[in-house]
Structures are given as structure tokens and as C-alpha cells.
Amino acid sequence: MIVIMKQNATKEQVNAVIKRVKEEGLEVHLSEGKEQTIIGLVGDTEKMIDVPFRGFDGVSDTVRITSSYKLTSREFHPTDTVVDVDGLKIGGEENFVTMAGPCSIEGLDQIMECARIAKAGGATVLRGGAFKPRTSPYAFQGLEEEGLKYIRQAADKFDMKVITEVMDEANLELVAKYTDILQIGARNMQNFKLLTAVGKTGLPVALKRGISGTIDEWLNAAEYIAAQGNQKVIFVERGIRTYETATRNTLDLSAVPVIQKLSHFPIIVDPSHGVGVWDYVTPMAVAGIASGASGMIVEIHPNPSQAWSDGQQSLNEKRYMNMMEQIHVMEKAMKEVKLIREKI
Amino acid sequence: MIVIMKQNATKEQVNAVIKRVKEEGLEVHLSEGKEQTIIGLVGDTEKMIDVPFRGFDGVSDTVRITSSYKLTSREFHPTDTVVDVDGLKIGGEENFVTMAGPCSIEGLDQIMECARIAKAGGATVLRGGAFKPRTSPYAFQGLEEEGLKYIRQAADKFDMKVITEVMDEANLELVAKYTDILQIGARNMQNFKLLTAVGKTGLPVALKRGISGTIDEWLNAAEYIAAQGNQKVIFVERGIRTYETATRNTLDLSAVPVIQKLSHFPIIVDPSHGVGVWDYVTPMAVAGIASGASGMIVEIHPNPSQAWSDGQQSLNEKRYMNMMEQIHVMEKAMKEVKLIREKI
Amino acid sequence: MIVIMKQNATKEQVNAVIKRVKEEGLEVHLSEGKEQTIIGLVGDTEKMIDVPFRGFDGVSDTVRITSSYKLTSREFHPTDTVVDVDGLKIGGEENFVTMAGPCSIEGLDQIMECARIAKAGGATVLRGGAFKPRTSPYAFQGLEEEGLKYIRQAADKFDMKVITEVMDEANLELVAKYTDILQIGARNMQNFKLLTAVGKTGLPVALKRGISGTIDEWLNAAEYIAAQGNQKVIFVERGIRTYETATRNTLDLSAVPVIQKLSHFPIIVDPSHGVGVWDYVTPMAVAGIASGASGMIVEIHPNPSQAWSDGQQSLNEKRYMNMMEQIHVMEKAMKEVKLIREKI
Amino acid sequence: MIVIMKQNATKEQVNAVIKRVKEEGLEVHLSEGKEQTIIGLVGDTEKMIDVPFRGFDGVSDTVRITSSYKLTSREFHPTDTVVDVDGLKIGGEENFVTMAGPCSIEGLDQIMECARIAKAGGATVLRGGAFKPRTSPYAFQGLEEEGLKYIRQAADKFDMKVITEVMDEANLELVAKYTDILQIGARNMQNFKLLTAVGKTGLPVALKRGISGTIDEWLNAAEYIAAQGNQKVIFVERGIRTYETATRNTLDLSAVPVIQKLSHFPIIVDPSHGVGVWDYVTPMAVAGIASGASGMIVEIHPNPSQAWSDGQQSLNEKRYMNMMEQIHVMEKAMKEVKLIREKI
């Protein structure tokens, strides 16, 4: 960490900073240039992140050199982490995964039919919500435990894994009983108590990016999970909130190479929430694979016009099967692309 | 609710929409103009909000006529709600409130000293966090119950009320034992389980706007609380996330008149989080009162350079006392302004 | 266009709207439902877009049914427009184009070397700025006419086309003398006088999306060009401004399918400005092609560390050649993908 | 300027940076700490802003110490600049200004009536557009020179100054003939050719903040004007583009104290464009004055429902007169507030 003084900072102002640093048992490395004085902090700088140097007189700026996340960072673990979901591998060079299913579990028949379609297209993980975070308290909130039972049954029948959202600590034990992957929704990316709790379960966690989460916050959210000894984090890019209204969110595919540079955990994309209308889901799924993502999670429904939620962004069977055909072409192409990339 | 068809929509497409509406037991009011066909829904349209008409062929757009929040809306309760905190009134024409205190409770002496300063300036509510949501898992997370005891003690000594954040349902009972107002932080604005839980306590709830919460989402979040029979909601505008980095957030003061038009619950402003550096706090507090807010919540610290968190945005005693002198001028001016406004 | 009245709108308020509509010679189609009254406008609604119905008492909202752009819309011209740049085809099913070159033209040797590299990798259009829009008045502003001569010379030698930015009407004639494609920069997307002027030249125009331009504004900007009888517009997605700082901008690849649905003009992507650091350029170029774009524009430099501008986002020869190898794999894959897409 | 190396940067990487710095004739001040190496640049660092150090291997970040704007900065000119518009003073301690008038000049009668109303309420500058930047090419584009003649005539009759927008260099001479203050619209904040041209006129320039302009870009835009020897810049905060749709833009009142800290030029606010609907204009005008602004610019119309543009955000006579009564209370209160502020 370094503290940059203003050009006209006085000797007293510089000393006030140094004094504060030494109070915490750290040393300083002073660099007095012509234009500015820079104070480098030497020692356990983690103790200093809450010291409000920017509020000190004469201070222009502070710069962190090291990231606040450790276990999540690529430096800590230089090779790609492959998350093992009971034998299913996510991440690493050649392990593309497709997770598919409805927004909400609506009944046993519906989720069974979704599982059949999902599997037929090549998905290996079945998604579906039993607890739904809804903007309005009067909207459908999910079938809860009943729904969890149905999705487990459907996944088992088609030899798939289950991913479903856990919204609060109170229901964590219940959800964990039925699912293979715990999903943390966008609204909970910084629900730190919940992150700590899912970290403790040791189960794989799919961590959605917050509605307006920065990549730095997202990496720190993963750190809450990893700090509990859980190294099974999967990042899910699902679009961020911007001023543009032509799409529901703005799917930030550049997050894929950025996360891959900064962290060793795999990242997948969610084109359904990213765009919010079904006609744009397929092109963005294809682009998502091409951005280098380790897979995707997509909403399907046997009859989208009857869906209880998110119907406008769900693919029907025909569209999903067609998309998956494209995805397989893209997965093949990406293997070739990666070989070329390695030559440099 | 109305469904607007595309200009070239076919008869079959129109009929598909009508059929779907009737399946739910509603009626339609069809308006076939030259340029477009519009389908008005008649009956309990609340049942229809999850029907994905925008995904139907031939549909151009849907428009909600009624808001999804009811108890929170000005139509439901045309006069201002005055929230009574054990005798202290917040909201309505002349009840300006100032809540002041440190970001974190750091110890008994610190919170006592904060209470003394806060009260001297005219604040009637003492703020201070015992559970702190922090971006990094390695940052200070609060003194927890110990902190709650200290703030209660300090407030009692200076005859003030307490406001403090509750981060999760698990600690709600504990926090409720010590506080007069429950604060829901920005990261939890859409933690729907928590909103429901605080709604059930019947305690006054200060609901911060989410980091990128829309006003519509915020009103719906309040509805989660009100739907539990709790009519003691206080909105807190604390700045939204934008591209601008000169300030920590962008304090959206226009939210004050917008909320006042759409809802009957009072709104106060938080200039400290809104700007994030102490030199801009005072002008924005003054502007906040002038925007028509019912009060403010502000961070102070006896010695900001030693604060354990948010020191760069905390006011010291001298600056706080000076600001409060300005605030009192503004409160007087706003009474005059409101009298003028009533003439129209 | 329709005007939606509030639920409690009075007869007088409805009549005031109707009166205003009739003043302009249009008719109304009145739909009085139980919940709300809706007024459909019949006739030349274009005349009504400036009437401030939302400021009328009793009005809840207005909804446009038709877009304000006409010549740019897919309805006006259902098949893809292929822009012909002196024999080079951009747009349509199989015409991928790569435009490559330095940010600024720095001299004859530099642009010659850039042309050699660009051509070797497969680019057919040479980019390079002679007039540079710079945030600071003290930064390098371009070689002006001298630069234009150099880029023309370099492109001719390697049998390439030229694309270069025109910043103002005053220099339009000069720039048009040397270039094949006129580039409108992001800061000028809504410089309406300039759009009209480039429209009049009849030359192909590459129209960059504004720094925070909505897709609707972008389509209307194209309409300014098309309204002059110029049907040679190429959209360039170059990233939008969001709160995220890990990348220079947020490259919005979903703009590709959205534009393709709403307009017949081709769209290409600019990964260099989209991400702003060279290590992310290649993955986003690959993803851009996979999103369905008709090509890309990319910054290269023989020696990025010596570049006079944008060096941190420029690819050197080795990286560019490697990227182009990946791009060619992707172009082949996309042909296959499009064949699959047509089956539905 | 300082260059911060990564923790694992090699000696060679450090040397590459130093070599590049010395090539430009600058010296380095090397600070090799335990955690990181920092390279301070000594000399004319302005030459280095285009050197892409962030693209160099081993470089973590670069930090500018000095701002790129000079003449605009508070350091260059520590006291407030008072802009003299032919005797009318804008800026400084007690010179509140109100500029009022219609969005568009629609005819002589309309602008005369606007001038009468504006003056009656206390405005001293008459606003009105003769050249209108419109999203659609088919919307009303202004009366051009005819409109300029009308506004001059109206202002002269009521002894007011004129402010009107200039959209391009081609019409600058024409506009300058009729106006006292040249307005640069939001879409032209970074039209650098136009900024340079208006700088050369020596006339006062009201520089609106760009639709998504950062404060840093805005200060640099002012620098383009000031660099021509024109020290008569007035900043106009008019709202920025965010995700929120309840208001047309988000009026960023914190820009007022930020600009006042960083620059000596006055800043006024535009609540009309800031919120976009007339019912929120008055509270935001009042809050704007309370934020410390030197005045405001507001849209009025004798009959908003007949306005040719921006009618929904224009105040009628009664509302404007009522607002100005509130503004005068606020101006008085702010004098008191400033006296209190000086005590610290």
C-alpha cells in the first residue's frame, strides 16, 4: 500500500501519516521526489485498509498494491481449479458444462419434462428454483421443499446433477439436502453471512455476479466462501445493470477473460438473465462460449407462454435443441482456438 | 395491464394472447386501431404479472397501469405517515430528524463520546454498527452483541434513540432487543427473507436504497415490510452506483420528491455514504434538507483518523457542530419554503 | 402512439388530451376500460412526438408504437444491407471484414509497417487517425492532412481500403479526399450537423456507438445519415460506459443481435476500445465474431510501447497474427452455426 | 506520475520502464520496497501521459499526481472567478443568477411572453434554443437565425442577457452576433473543435456536463476553452445518465461542491433537464441552490401543453413565480449558511 501526498503537502502532514502507520507496527519507505512525496507501507498492510488516509490533510490518494482476496487469486493458485461435482468436472481446459432447466420448479411433470429436454440437448446439470427472490411480495415465491424433492427426482431419473438457489441461512440445510450445487443469486452476492454459511458446507457454490457488482467485489465475495476452506467456487456472469433498456441487463462477456486472469476458479455465463428475451439468448450463449467461459446456465421450458416466471427469456424445446447444436460447433472451435492461443 | 400488439400482428397472434388471458379468468377489452391492436386486461391483473406476453409472437410491448406495491403507495394512504419511534416523530411537515454516530461501534468510550457530540449538535438518534457488512472477509466485522450493549447504554445516557443495522435473520432477535430502529443496509434491500422478518417485528425500519436499486424496486422492498402489517418504514437515500468516481456514490436527491409523490412513508438522506469524503458531506447534507427530506443520517467520530471504518467520510466534532448550525438555518428556511409551496 | 390515463383521471382530463390531439388534425380511438382509459392516436402520429402528454394532468404514461427511425429499420428493408466499399463487401451472410491499424498515424514508416502487418493477418481495411479527439487539449491531436496522405499511400501499396475519423464538418472535404470509409467517433454519435454532412457525401460511414449511447439513439443517429440518401452505414459497437473499472468500457456484445433484429445495416465490433488493455482484446474479438458481427476493427502497432496513443490496447505483430489465426477458425465455425440457425 | 510495478516484476521489466522514461528526457526516482517497486517520474511528465506503461510487462498500475487541466484548476487560480456578462456577475460569494426561458424559440410572441414572465420572477438571463439537437432527424430542429433575432429582441426589451446554444462551428459567428453567453450542449461537451472555437470568441461559455461526462472530462473540456485565453467558463450540471428511469437523468448535485473544490469557475444547475418532469423541477431547483451553486437555468413556457419541445419539463407562469419565491428564501438562507461555514 502506498500513500501519495499532495504536491503542496507540508512536512507536518507527511509526519502525521508516518505516525499513524507506525502506530500499527508497520514501517514506511519514504520517497521524496520533486513533484510529490510518496509513502510506501512495509509490513502487514492488511491491517491498514481501514485507516482513512484519504481523509488526512495533505493526502492526495492511496493505492493498494495487493488485492484483498488471497485464496481466490491466480497468484495463490496459478493453475485452473477444476470443480468436481460428484464426478462431473467444471473448469479447466476441456470441461464445458451446460446447466439447463426452468426458472421455477412448477410441479413434478414440468421439471421431469424439462430434465428430459435438457439432457437430450447435452446438459448435465438441471437448474430450477424452489425459493424465488421476487421484486414484488405478491409474485410467486416458489414451491419450497416440495420443489426441491421434484428437481432431485427429475435429475436422478435422467442422471443429472442439481443446481438450485439458496436464499437464506435458515433454509440452507434443507436446500443442501437436495442439491449438488448451491446457487447464490445476484441479490445475495454481498450477503456475507450467507456466503460464510455456504462456504462451511463444502458443497460447490455457483456465485452469481451482483446486479451491479464490480469484479473486485465479486472476487472478494468468493473469498468469503474460500476463507471457510471451500475451494469449489464457480463464477456466473449474468449481466450487469446499465442505462441500456433494449436488454434486461448488459451481459459483460469481458468479465470472462478478466476473471480468468485474476482467479483460478472457473466462470460460466448465463445468457438468459443477461439479455432477458429469448431471441437474443442463443447468439449470446454462442458468444459466451467463444469468450472462453467453461460453460453456461440457460433457462428452458416445455411451454414458455405458460411458465410461472421468466417465460419471456426461456427457450422451448425446439429452440434449445437448435442452440445446443450450435454450442457443440462452438465448443469444438474453441478447442482449436485454445491450441492456437498456446503457441504464443 | 395492457398488451400492445405489433403493427403486423396476425389475428391468430391476437387470439393467442386473449386465450391466455381468459385461462386465468380475466376478461379483455379489445381496441383495434388502424395502427395497432391493444388488448386491455380486465379483472385481477395481479395474477398476470408473470405471464410472459413479451415472449408471445406478435406482441410489441406490455404496460402495467397499476403499481405492484399497494400499502406503500400514496394512493393507499394519501397523507404523510409519521413514524413514531417511542415518542420521537419522523416524517410529516415539521419533524426533521438527525441521526448521527460512528460507522462502527469501537468501544464504550468511543460510542459515549459520539453520543455526547451527536446530542450537542441536535441529533436525537444515535447510529453505530455492531454487525458490519464488509467487502473483504478480512476487514473488521463489528463488535456484535458487545457493541449493541454499548450503543444502548450511550443512547440511554443522552436520552437518544438507537438505530443499528441488522444483517440477517439469525441475529434479528438479538439486535431488536437493543435498538429502536432496525436498519436494512444497501446490500440487503432485496434480501426478501430479511425484509419479511423485520416486517414481523413491528419495529420501525430504516430501509436503505440498494447500491443500484431502482426507485420501483425500493418501493416494492418497502412493500415486503408493510405486507407484514408494519407501517413504520423510513426510506434512506444513500447514493447510487454510477460511472462517476469523484464521489463514492452519486447521491440522488431527486429520489426525495419522487418517493414523496409515490409513497406516504418518510424519506431521509445519508450524505456520508452518498459522497464518501468528509469535505462534501456538509454541502450535501444542507442540499438534502432543501430537497425536502425529513431528516438525515450522518457519520461522526471523535477522531476520524483513528476510526476503524469509514474514517474518511466521518465528521469530527468541530465540523459536525458547524454543519448542524447550517442545518438549523436550512430547517427554518424549509418551513418558509413549504408555506410558499402550499399557496399553489 | 397511445396515451394511458391514470386510474382516477377525470372526464375533463381525458377531454383535454383528445382536444390537443384533434388540434393537430389526428383522430383518437378511445378505449374506456374499468381500470383505465386508453387513448389511441390515429393519423400522422409523427407530428405528436413533441407534445408533452406526460405533463398533462391525469396522464399516467405514453407509449410509442412505431419507431422514430424509418430508413434504418428492418421493416423498411427486410434483407441485410451489404455495404459496398469500392468492391469490398461488408455485411450479409459471409462477408467478414477485419479493419486493423494504429490508433494514430505517427509517420509514413509507421503506417506502412502497420499496413504490412494488417494485410499479412488478413485485414482488408487500414485504420489510423489523423485527427484525434483527446480528453486533454495538451495531448497529441494528430498529424492532420500529412497523416491522411500517409495512410492513403500505405493502403494503396498493400491494396487495402482506408477508414479514418472525421471530427468536424470543416475538415470533411479534406478527409473525404483520402478515405474510403468515414468514421464517426463515439463522442460525435449525436453531433447531428456532422451526421447530416457525412450523409450527404454518399461515402460509407462507420458510426461508433456513443460513450453512453442507447441503441435507440444509435439507430436514430444512423437515420440522420440515411435521411440524406446514404444507405452505407456500418454500426461499430465499441463498449459503453458503466460503473466497472476493470475494463476501459463494457463491450456490449448483445448489441449485435439487437441491432441485427432492428436494422438492416451491418454491425462490427471494436474490442480494442471495448476493453482497453491488450490482454483482453483477443478473447473479445473472438467472442465478437461469435456474437454474429460482420467483422471487427482492431488496433495494432509495430511497437506498442512506443505508440503515441492507445499503446496499452494495441496488439503487436505476433499477437495480432495469432489472434487472426483464431478469428479464421471462428469465421469458419460461424458459417456452420448460421446453417444450423436457419433450420429453425 | 508514478509507475507501480507488480510484486513479482523482474529487474528487466523495471529497467524497460526506466529506459522508456529516459528516452523522453525525464529522470526517475526509484523506490524499491519489500512489497513493490515504485518508479516516480521527474521532469515534464505531461509528455508521458500517452506512454502506455499499463501495457508494459510487469507493470501493475500508473498513477497521475497532477491533473491534466491547469488553467481550470483551483491551484492555478485560488479565488473564485466571477464571470462578467456585460455587467452581470456570475459566481463568487453573492451573485446568484437565474436563467429562464423556453426550450425552443417558437416565435416572437412566445419568446416575448417568456421574457416577461422570466423577468417578473427575477431571472436576468433569457434562455431559448434556435438550433436544437434532436434525437430524431424528423423532430423540430429550431427556427435558426429567425429565432436568434427574436430572443435578442425579447431580451433587449426586458433588459436581460441572452443565452443560447451553438451546435457547430459553421454557425458560431451567427450565434455570437446575437447572444451574450454561448451554451455548449451536453452532446457537445467533448466536441473539441467546437470548444476551441468558442474559446477563441472570448464570449462567456456555459458548458453543460456531458450525458455521461465524468467530472474529470468536464474539467478538461473547460481547459480546451481556457487554453484559448477565455476565462469566462460557467459549468452547468444537468444530470447524468444512470440506470434509474423515474427521472429523465440523475441530477448530480454533489458535482457542485466537487467542481468548487477543483476549479475556480462558477457552476450552476439545470433542474429541468436533470429531472425531466415539471413536478420535480422546483424541489431540485431549491436543493440546487442549497448545494452551493451560483444559480440555475430553468425551462418555462406560457403554455407548456402547447410547447414544441420539452413541454413536460417546463414550468408555467404560476409555478415558476411560486418557485422563484422559494428560491429567494433559499438564497437568503445560503448567505447565512456561508457565514457559518466561514467560521471553521
Q: Reduced to 3 states, what is the DSSP secondary structure of residue B298?
A: strand
Residue B37: pLDDT band by 50, 70, 90 thresholds? confident
Q: Are D269 and D298 in contact (CB under 8 A)?
A: no
Residue range D8-35, pLDDT digits in tens: 889 999 999 999 999 888 888 888 776 6
Report the chain A residue with the minimal C-alpha distance to residue B211.
A212
How far away is chain A from the Cα of C37, in angstroms, using its nearest Cα?
25
Q: Taking CB atoms and an 8 Å limit, are D139 and C50 in contact across chains?
A: yes
Contact between chains at C29 and B29 (C-beta distance less than 8 A) = no
pLDDT mean over D315-336: 97
Which residues does D241 contact at the CB level (< 8 Å), separation at least 6? A243, C212, D211, D212, D249, D250
SS3 annotation, chain C: CEEEECCCCCHHHHHHHHHHHHHCCCEEEEEECCCCEEEEEECCHHHHCCCCHHHCCCEEEEECCCCCCCCCECCCCCCCCCEEECCEEECCCCCCEEEEECCECCCHHHHHHHHHHHHHHCCCEEECECCCCCCCCCCCCCCCHHHHHHHHHHHHHCCCEEEEECCCHHHHHHHHHHCCEEEECHHHCCCHHHHHHHHHHCCCEEEECCCCCCHHHHHHHHHHHHCCCCCCEEEEECCECCCCCCCCCECCCCHHHHHHHHECCCEEECHHHHHCCHHHHHHHHHHHHHCCCCEEEEEECCCHHHCCCCHHHCECHHHHHHHHHHHHHHHHHHHHHHHHHHCC
C197 Cα to chain B: minimum distance (Å): 32
Q: Which residue of A has its CA nearest to B136?
A: A220
Taking the CA of residue A69 and the nearest CA in chain C, the distance in Å comes to 15
Q: Hey, what CATH class is D83-342 in?
A: alpha beta
pLDDT tens digit string along D99-115? 999 999 999 999 999 99
pLDDT of residue B34: 67
> CA-to-CA distance for D323 and B337, rounded, in angstroms?
9
CA atoms within 13 A on the CB side of A255: 33
Q: Do C33 and B38 touch (CB under 8 A)?
A: no
Looking only at the bridges linking them, the beta strands covering D97-101 and C181-184 are unpaired
Share of chain B above pLDDT 90, in %: 77
Let me know: does D184 contact D205? Beta carbons within 8 Å.
yes
Q: Residue A30: name the closest of A6, A3, A52 by CA.
A: A3
Which chain A residues have a beta carbon less than 8 Å from that of C252?
Answer: 242, 244, 250-251
Instruction: Check CB contact under 8 Å for B168 and A194.
Output: yes
Average pLDDT, chain D: 94
Report the alpha-carbon distance of residue D177 to residue B63 in Å, rounded.
Answer: 48
D250 vs C331: CA distance, rounded Å: 42
Give the confidence band of B193 by pLDDT, cuts at 50, 70, 90: very high
Interaxial angle between packed helices D317-342 and B317-342, expressed in degrees from 0 to 180 and rounded to the nearest 10: 160
The 8-class DSSP code of residue B126 comes to E
In which band, very low, low, confident or very high, does the pLDDT at B30 lie, cut at 50, 70 and 90? confident
Q: C-chain residues within 8 Å CB-CB of A122?
A: none
Distance (Å, whole) CA B263 – CA B220:
11
Class of CATH domain C2-63: alpha beta
Strand partners, D299: D101
- Distance of CA A10 to CAs A5, A52, D36, D186, D271, Å? 9, 18, 25, 39, 41
Nearest residue, CB atoms, D187 vs list C140, C191, C313: C191
Min Cα–Cα distance to chain B from A52, Å: 5
- At D299 the three-state DSSP class reads strand
Query: How high is the pLDDT of residue D60?
Result: 85
CA distance C215 to A329: 30
**Residues in D touching C310 (Cβ below 8 Å):** 52
Would you give the distance in Å from CA A2 to the centre of its chain? Answer: 30
Sign for the pseudo-dihedral over CA of B151, B153, B154, B155: positive
d(CA B123, CA B114): 11
Domain boundaries, chain B: 2-63, 83-342
Say if CB B199 and CB B172 are below 8 A apart: no
**pLDDT tens per residue, range D228-273:** 999 999 999 999 999 999 999 999 999 999 999 999 999 999 999 9
Q: Mutation test of the interface with chain B: which of A192, A272, A282, choosing the one with the most B Cβ atoms within 10 A? A: A192
Q: How far is D32 from chain A (nearest CA, A)?
A: 8
The answer to whether the CB atoms of A167 and B69 lie below 8 A apart is no
Of A105-109, C145-149, D307-311, the one with minimum mean pLDDT is D307-311
The arithmetic mean of pLDDT across residues A314-323, rounded, is 97
Is residue A140 scored above 90 in pLDDT?
A: no
Q: What residues of chain C lie within 8 A of the CB of B65, using their CB? A: 4, 7, 35-36, 60
Q: Is C310 close to D196, i.e. CB distance below 8 A?
A: no
Inter-chain touch B305–A20, beta carbons under 8 Å: yes
Dihedral sign (CA C230, C234, C238, C239): positive
Mean pLDDT of all residues in D85-89: 96
Subunits with 3+ Cβ pairs within 8 Å of D are A, B, C
Comparing CB atoms, the residue among B65, B241, B242 nearest residue C35 is B65
> Of B46, B136, B217, which is closest to A223 when you measure between CB atoms?
B136
Enclosing H/E stretch for B61: strand B59-63
Segments of chain C scoring below 50 in pLDDT: none
Query: How far is the C-alpha of B164 from the C-alpha of A139, rounded, in Å?
Result: 30
B110-136: per-residue pLDDT in tens?
A: 999 999 999 999 999 999 999 998 888
* B38/C45 touch (CB, cutoff 8 Å), yes or no: no
Q: In chain D, what residues touch B319 (CB-CB under 8 Å)?
A: 344
CA B304 remoteness from chain centre: 26
Residue C147's pLDDT is what? 97
State the best of C23, C50, C272 to mutate against chain D, taking most chain D CBs within 10 Å. Answer: C50
Q: Which residue of C has its CA nearest to D307?
A: C51
CA distance B164 to chain C (A): 29
Nearest alpha carbon to residue C252 among A242, A78, A118, B218: A242
What cell numbers appear for C261 in the block?
Answer: 433484429
Judge: C168–D193 Cβ closer than 8 Å, yes or no: yes
Contacts of B192 in chain A (CB under 8 A): 133-134, 137, 167
Residue in C215, C261, C330 closest to A333 by CB:
C330
Query: Which of A268, A233, A263, A290 has its CA nearest to residue A79?
Result: A263
Residue with cell 501526498: A5
Residue among A152, A179, A145, A177 nearest A165 (CA): A179
State the nearest Cα–Cα gap between C272 and chain A, in angstroms: 12
Flag whether pLDDT at B33 surpasses 80. no
Tell me which chain A residue has its CA closest to the CA of residue B314: A55
* Listed residue (D20, D66, D68) closest to A33, CA to CA: D66
Distances D325 to A308, B15, B70, B336 between C-alpha atoms, Å:
53, 56, 36, 10
Q: How far is it, in rounded angstroms, from Cα D95 to Cα D89?
A: 6
**How many whole angstroms separate alpha carbon B26 and alpha carbon B19?**
10
Cβ-defined contact of A7 to D245 (cutoff 8 Å): no
Burial level of B101, CB count in 10 A (0-12/13-18/19+)? buried
Cell numbers standing for residue A292: 472462453
Nearest CB among A283, A288, A332 relative to C292 is that of A283
A197, A211 contact by CB (below 8 A): no
Gap between the Cα atoms of B91 and B82, Å rounded: 5
Using the structure block, give the residue that is written with the C-alpha cell 461515402.
Answer: C203
C205 neighbors C234 (Cβ within 8 angstroms): yes
Span B290-310, average pLDDT? 94
Region B276-288 average pLDDT: 96
Query: Taking CB atoms and an 8 Å cut-off, how many pairs form between chains A and D?
Result: 61
Query: Do D167 and C54 count as a contact with CB atoms less than 8 A apart?
Result: no
What values do phi and psi take at B179, rounded to 5? Answer: -110, 160
Question: Which of D264, D136, D258, D147 lies closest to D209, judged by CA?
Answer: D258
CA distance D243 to B215: 10
CB-based contact D326 B318, cutoff 8 Å: no
Burial (CB < 10 A; 0-12, 13-18, 19+), residue C19, is exposed
Residue of B63, B235, B253, B254 to mutate when probing chain D, most D C-beta within 10 A: B254
Question: What is the least distance, in Å, from the CA of D80 to any CA of chain B?
Answer: 17
Preferred mutation among A63, A70, A72, A135 to probe B, highest tally of B CBs within 10 A: A135
B-contacting chains (≥3 CB pairs under 8 Å): A, C, D
- Please tell me the distance in Å from D121's CA to the nearest CA on chain C: 22
Run of H or E residues at A321: helix A317-342
Cβ-based contacts of A63 with chain D (< 8 Å): 4, 61, 63
Tell whether the model's pLDDT for residue A86 goes beyond 90.
Answer: yes
ipTM of the modeled complex: 0.94
Neighbours of chain A (3+ CB pairs under 8 A): B, C, D
pLDDT at D34: 67
| Residue C72 one-letter amino acid | T
> Which one of C168, C224, C305 has the shortest CB-CB distance to D169?
C168
CA C79 to chain centre: 19
Are the beta carbons of B318 and D344 closer than 8 angstroms? yes
Q: Is B169 helix (H, G, I), strand (E, B) or coil?
A: helix
